[in-house]
Structure 1
Amino acid sequence: MLISPSKRLFSTLLLVGASLVFTASASAQAKARDYSPSETTGEAITKYKTAVDAKNYDSALAILDAQLAKVAADSYDAALLYQIKTQTFLQKGDFAKAIEPLEKGLQLSDTKTPSYYEEKLTRDLVYFQAQLYLQEAVQSKDPKVIASLYEKSDNTMARWLKLTPATTSDAQLLYSQLLYSRAVQNPEKPDLAILKRALEQVEIGLRLSTRPKDTFYVLKLVSLQQLDRNAEAVEVLELLVKQKPDSGTYWQQLAAIYLGADKPIRAALSIERAQSHGHMSTPKDHYNLVGIYFNIGQFEKAAELLTAGLKNGSIEPDIKNWELLALCYQQMDRPFKSIESLKEAAKAFPKSGQIEFLIAQAYQSLDKSEETLLHLQNAASKGNLTQPHRVYLYLAYIAFELKKFDIAMDAAKKAAAIPEGAKDGQNMIKAIEETLKDREARKSKM
């Protein structure tokens, strides 16, 4: 759900790097602090600029390192050279290598009163430093390194907030994402305290604009969910679907969170609202909607949706869905509608004996033995049965009741030939044989 910071940071770092060239020059000329580079450092910078203009970054870095070896470790020259070295690594695209000279330059500047770097430059560099830590945390695979970098980035952003007169929406988004990512390093055991801090920063960001970026709301949502504050999470999602009704993802999340909160009616209504905007319209979504209504006992609504879906193709016209439609009518005590649905299914699946078996059972519940027998015979003839022995035993029993002993005996023998139906089939055969013997005995006495 969250936007990965890596791409966004990459472009931001390039912009910051471009500004550092100007900033370094401005700082070198700043007279208010009475700091200026030595003549030899100035000459080195001139040579450096020639190399950089030719995009010969390795030579440019070599010039800086050579000069750093000559100047005092706590001098303004060193601070300036570290700043320029940071910018060079950035221009070269070696973001990880930019961290060390940036750290050294800021640390050196902070030891002086007044600091070597002006307040605005310090703020810019600190912000840049937080981004670099986060960038490296995102790209690292080592859990210990990741944890350390997240902590550094967190502390650096906290420092930036203290230094800056007024935060910005982009800064709050960066800090909020940083804190959330830090909190869920172990998704099985998120850090709830840091999640709460992330929420605090999100709220600040939301108040900075009349039209905050969607990512703020997404961060708020996932943070609330991690904290099991689902009622508040629902409010955020309702706001998101209101603002972005064309986003299918938000509708799916809203329906899911209502289901998770055991609010099936609201979940169903969310799916229907989504469908009115052209989302959640896959066969699976339509079937899930039917399932929700069926599970809460709204059988008429479920039947209505199933009937429409099976006709227009929005629900997969497979056997189980036809069976579910028949079951809906059975639950509403409308047996003939149930049978009608099953007969429609039989037309759609003419080779399915299982549907014929279901029709037979439906007729038997109405004490219509002749119809039951007919569809049991159809079931046995068509085959493709889930439990063939049950069908043969059922057929034998109904035929026996109707005194159609030849049909009953044939079905009983077929049941007995199946391992699962062997015992009951043999019992049925014996019962038929005894009945036929008694019948013959009575005839002989007449």
Structure 2
Amino acid sequence: MKKSIAKRLTTAMTFWAWVGLSLPVVSLYAEAQTASEKETREVPTLRSKVYDQFSRAQSAADNGDLPEAISILEEVKSKDYSMNSYERAMMFNFYGFIYYNDEQYENALDAFSQVIEQQPIPVKFEMSTLYTLAQLHLMQGNYEQVVDYLDRWKTLNNGDVPAKHKVLKAQALYSDEQYQQAAEYIQQAVAEREAEDQAPDEGWLILQRAIHYELKEPVKVKDILIKMVKLFDKPKYWIQLASMYGELGEDRKQLAIMETAHQRGFVESGTDIFNLAQLYYYHRAPYKGAKLMEQGLEDGVLEKNLRNWKFLGQSWQLAKETDKAIPALTEAAALADDGELEVQLAQIYLNSEQWEQAIAAADKAVEKGQLRNPGMPHLVKGMALYNTQQYVAAMEQLAQAEAYDKSRAMAQQWLKFVETEKTSQEQLSAELSL
């Protein structure tokens, strides 16, 4: 399935930013045949009276007076019956140039197409026009025509095919979702540039990376990104390289690249901050992740939402910074629709021997509901009540916890323990009262 028109145009316009569009505007003062061309193709000359008209049109165009330039060309065209092939080709070439500068791309295509229909014309003139037609068709999303014009160009070429032509062909094939063929052409272009001890253009590597991404070849994407990091050292390439290491399962390298990027000030967006904090968490460095998250929330880079507060709390908890985990989890719990985080808070309070807070959090969890283990808040509350020596109330909560499969076993153990403690306390009280 072909890409949408919007995507095709975006792709094409991005490409112009890489290579620039070179129109075959043949100077009136420089166009001439080489000796070899004269031997292989007889081309008529440009007569002075026609030259003068073209010169007027070019002057008008150079001064930004496109209507005047078109008017002059229309006057010339009205006498095209008396013109030779070279003169007509030059006329259509000027039409194409003027239409292009006025962003009338379809008219420009029509005009340049007429140039190569006028035969004979100088070989170099025809080749430059074929190349421009390929560029304009790419811009318009006509990928088959791009390949066709480049192939026609090649039949006229006696030397090596320039790397930029291969890149243009690769771009057309990529846009037409012919990724394997596109990969071959872009590889040739990059290899040729590197063989000359020159760095490939940044746009070429961007295209090559995109092609291999579509081919689902993450190792090659990673290798291209390593090259881009070395050559261009842009923040986005560091982040993308880290992501590729993650996709390849090379987590330690992913963390190393992200840490380096952070140290250099490249980790700036909320998404990148959160991703690095996650890497710290999973690599048992939760304190670093928590500090990063905390700073991001303070600076407003990270949104103060449920996900971020929850992850900050979990990071502080894993770092054994309970006093810092509680406020973050409390913020998260206030934003949650269910009582899961209240259960987590109740457990933290219980482990911290903050019995009243544990009881309150457990009650809130039951009130909000939607729990994965509905018996857990009753279990925690029962244990907190036991520690405040409220044995009857504790046994009531533990009995409720016993009703749920996930908490039944532990609830039964605690029930036995609390019953024993209750009996012991009652016996002790009786003995003391004697």
TM-score by length of 2: 0.68
Q: 1:84 aligns with which of 81, 88, 91?
A: 91
SS for the counterpart of 1:210 is: coil
User: Does the CA-based 8 Å contact 1:133-1:150 persist in structure 2?
Assistant: yes
Q: Is the 8 A contact 2:115 2:129 kept in 1?
A: no
* 175, 181, 184: which one aligns with 2:172: 181
Q: Supply the distance in 2 between the matched residues of 1:193 and 1:326 (Cα, whole angstroms).
A: 51
Q: CA deviation at 1:107?
A: 5.0
Amino acid at match of 2:124: R
1:69 aligns to what?
A: 81
State the match for 1:217 in structure 2: 205
Q: How does 1:307-326 map to 2 (within 5 A)?
A: 307-310=290-293, 312-313=295-296, 318-325=308-315
The one of 280, 284, 306 aligned to 2:267? 280
AA matched with 2:139: V
Match of 2:130 in 1: 129
Q: 1:100 to 1:220 in 2, by over 3 A?
A: same
Aligned to 2:72: 60
Of 24, 29, 46, which residue of structure 2 is paired with 1:22? 29
- Separation in structure 2 between the aligned mates of residue 180 and residue 391 of structure 1, nearest angstrom: 59
Distance 1:10 1:231 in 2: 30
The verdict on how the C-alpha distance between 1:177 and 1:280 changes in structure 2, with shifts beyond 3 A counting, is farther
Of 244, 266, 288, the residue aligned with 1:305 is 288
Relative distance call for 1:350 and 1:303 in structure 2 (3 A) is closer
Instruction: Give the distance between the partners of 1:262 and 1:289, measured in 2 at CA.
Output: 15
Q: TM-score, normalization: structure 1?
A: 0.67
The residue correspondences of 1:83-122 to structure 2 (distance < 5 A) are 83-93=90-100, 94-100=104-110, 102-109=112-119, 116-118=120-122, 122=123
Question: 1:379 matched to which residue of 2?
Answer: 361
Number of aligned pairs? 377
Contact 2:99 2:107 in 1 (8 A): no
Q: Which amino acid aligns with 1:230?
A: P
Question: Which digits, 9 at most, give the CA deviation of each residue in 1:327-364, with x for residues without a partner?
Answer: 535xxxxxxxx3xx233233456675876743542576
Structure 2: stretches of 5+ with no match in the other structure:
1-9, 335-339
In the TM superposition, residue 261 of structure 1 has moved relative to its aligned partner by 1.2
Residue in structure 2 matching 1:404, options 387, 390, 394: 390
CA deviations on 1:245-267 (whole Å, 9 max, x unpaired) are 2x111112101111111111111
Provide, for residues 266-294 of structure 1, a one-character-per-residue CA deviation record: whole Å limited to 9, x for no partner: 11111112112211244432332232344
CA distance in 2, matches of 1:51, 1:382: 83
Give, in whole Å, the separation in 2 of the partners of 1:362 and 1:139: 62
Q: 1:262 aligns with which of 249, 265, 268?
A: 249
Tell me: CA distance 1:224–1:356, structure 2 relative to 1, closer, same or farther (3 Å): closer
Q: 2:327, 2:43 → 1: CA distance?
A: 92
- Letter of the structure 1 residue corresponding to residue 75 of structure 2: I
User: Take 2:53 and 2:230, find their aligned partners in 1: how far apart are those partners?
Assistant: 59
1 CA distance for matches of 2:237 and 2:16?
Answer: 24
Conserved? CA contact 1:326–1:342, under 8 Å: yes
> Aligned letter for 1:200?
Q
The CA RMSD measured in Å over matched residues stands at 4.6
**Aligned CA distance change for structure 1 residues 36 and 203 (closer, same or farther; 3 Å):** same
Report the equivalent of 2:7: none
**8 Å CA contact 1:130, 1:154 repeated in 2:** yes
CA contact (8 A) 1:199 1:220 kept: yes
Q: CA deviation at 1:398?
A: 2.4
**Residue among 378, 384, 394 paired with 2:379:** 394
Shift of 1:57: 2.9
Q: Does residue 361 of structure 1 match 2:347?
A: yes
Label 1:48 to 1:81 Cα distance change in 2 as closer, same or farther (>3 A).
Answer: same
Query: Aligned AA for 1:393?
Result: H
Change (3 A) 1:362 1:9: closer
CA contact (8 A) 1:83 1:105 kept: yes
| Deviation of 1:123 (Å) | 2.5
| SS class of match (1:12) | coil
Kindly provide the amino acid, as one letter, of the partner of residue 166 in structure 2. Y
- The 8 Å contact of residues 64 and 85 in structure 1, kept in 2 or not, is answered as no
The letter of the residue matching 2:89 is: Y
Distance 1:348 1:153, change over 3 A: same
